[in-house]
Amino acid sequence: MATQPMAPTHAVVHSHHVPRRRQCVRRRGIFIRSAAAAAASSVVPTDTLSAAFWDYNLLFRSQRDECPDPVPLGVTEGAIPPDFPAGTYYLTGPGMFSDDHGSTVHPLDGHGYLRSFRFHPGDGRVLYSARYVETAAKREESGDGDGASWRFTHRGPFSVLQGGKKVGNVKVMKNVANTSVLRWGGRLLCLWEGGEPYEVNPCTLKTLGPFDLLGLAGSDDKPPPRENASARRTQRPWLQEAGLDVAAHLLRPVLSGVFNMPGKRLLAHYKVDPRRGRLLMVACNAEDMLLPRSNFTFYEFDAHFDLIQKREFVVPDHLMIHDWAFTDSHYVLLGNKIKLDIPGSLLAVTGTHPMIAALAVDPSKQSTPVYLLPRSPEAEARGRDWSVPIEAPSQMWSVHVGNAFEEENRRGGLDIRLHMSGCSYQWFHFHRMFGNFGTAQKQLLILHLHVAARTITE
């Protein structure tokens, strides 16, 4: 199994799915379980490595039941502070991993399972509810949505169907809305890495339908005109760039028409700028996964989802970006370098290997490129060539980014501090991204970027 998980531990275990001796789940130092389970026993089990291991494995156990009606939970250790703010904590993640016909999918292809915890500190109540996000794929695979019998028909990017169609199955883009949840502008959205978000009723958790955040509904697959004239800067000869343009033009209709990939692949990780009151999102082009060139479009929305700013950049590198950061002046991308795997691509087409087998990590450089993309024309006017990255001294595969901020150094220049989690390329594998519980191969890092000197210290 792989060396470190790609996604946060999103799943919450229902008390009726957990063995009696492990009826509670630790959440930030407080044990929460159903009131009925709390009454059954007043003994809180001691955490051990073995118990933690089984708790971790329960994250990948299919949830067959929904809980649309709120259920009161009891606190079995500690207490909810009296000044704890009243509100709702939403949590999403994969909930269905195995169907009734012999197929088990990768966790990243598991159907999105949304939970809510409604805190009422005044009377000490916590109400829990949970429902699946009713995506098109979920309705198809769960028997018209009733959940009585599941049959996986979509391959998804990371899975191989054991009990379903393999050869000729082009259902790769399985939008399961399982990666993150967003509360913004009075709406609740569940996002996935590669498709449009799904809107959910924040009170009942009932799915309302797809939400066209980028305004791409009904558009063709031609890329929109770039709004910032300097979006493309390249260090390649013009003939190579022309060849990539032709390849992208040929790939788009194939990816869209055959594999149902949207022209713009929205990343599931969003950012909020509280000072300006903006929601920040980023999208990539569908063909970026197959070509040594990456297109990034950044969107900034106000509190009503009105588009305030859109900026586009073409980076001359083959990158896979899962998470990113921003500062007052820049969008920050840590370059996870990938390459096309030709043997893996042929195996993926046969259906005997997942589609992600077409890609492999590219460890050819021993450093990590960090791209600082100007967030405004004023930042761009400072003259720094944003298409040339600042190289971090060690080779890291970036998993998640915690925070980034700017500060003025003693020479009057600009420095950026970046908090992130990552691992070495030698520990990362697309096919096996979960497992090896207890290993310490994933690291929390703080990078100090010296913008003027184009250096990074760790």
Between residues 217 and 75, which one has the greater pLDDT? 75
- Residue 229's pLDDT is 42
Long-range (24+ apart) CB contacts under 8 A made by 120-124 are 120/86, 121/80, 121/81, 121/82, 121/83, 121/84, 121/85, 121/86, 122/86, 124/75, 124/79, 124/80
Assigned domain for 286 exists: yes
pLDDT over 90, % of the chain: 41
Assigned domain for 436 exists: yes
Residue 111 among known ligand-binding residues: no
Collapse the DSSP code of 32 into the 3-class scheme (helix H, G, I; strand E, B; otherwise coil) and give the result. strand
Q: Are residues 254 and 141 in the same domain?
A: no
Distance of CA 152 to the CA centre of its chain: 22
Q: Are residues 186 and 305 in the same domain?
A: no
- Tally of domains in the chain: 2
Q: Which residues are CB-contacts of 245 (< 8 A; sequence separation ≥ 6)? A: none
For the cut 70, the answer to whether the pLDDT of residue 285 exceeds it is yes
Encode pLDDT of 352-406 as tens digits: 888 898 999 999 988 999 999 999 888 887 778 898 999 988 888 888 998 899 9
Assigned domain for 276 exists: yes
Q: Are residues 24 and 97 in the same domain?
A: yes
Tell me what the mean pLDDT of segment 265-287 comes to.
Answer: 95
- Residue 210's pLDDT is 95
Last residue of a domain, one of 180, 210, 240: 210
Assigned domain for 159 exists: yes
Q: Are residues 238 and 176 in the same domain?
A: no
**Helical (H) or strand (E) element with 254:** helix 238-257
What secondary structure letter does DSSP report for 352? Answer: S
| Single pTM value for the model | 0.83
Assigned domain for 3 exists: no
Out of 15-19, 80-84, 163-167, 450-454, which region has the weakest mean confidence (pLDDT)? Answer: 15-19
Q: Are residues 242 and 347 in the same domain?
A: yes
Out of 78-87, 175-184, 421-430, which region has the weakest mean confidence (pLDDT)? Answer: 421-430
For the cut 70, the answer to whether the pLDDT of residue 225 exceeds it is no
Average pLDDT across the chain, whole number: 81
Q: Are residues 177 and 242 in the same domain?
A: no
Residue 400 among known ligand-binding residues: yes
For the cut 80, the answer to whether the pLDDT of residue 192 exceeds it is yes
Encode pLDDT of 329-349 as tens digits: 999 999 999 999 999 888 888
Encode pLDDT of 6-25 as tens digits: 333 333 222 333 333 333 33
Last residue of a domain, one of 155, 175, 210: 210
For the cut 60, the answer to whether the pLDDT of residue 196 exceeds it is yes
Encode pLDDT of 40-86 as tens digits: 444 555 677 788 778 777 778 899 899 999 999 988 888 888 888 99
Assigned domain for 218 exists: no
- Residue 433's pLDDT is 65
Q: Are residues 115 and 150 in the same domain?
A: yes
**Helical (H) or strand (E) element with 70:** strand 67-77
Q: How far apart are CA 158 and CA 431, in angstroms?
A: 7
Q: Give the structural domain span for 144.
A: 15-210
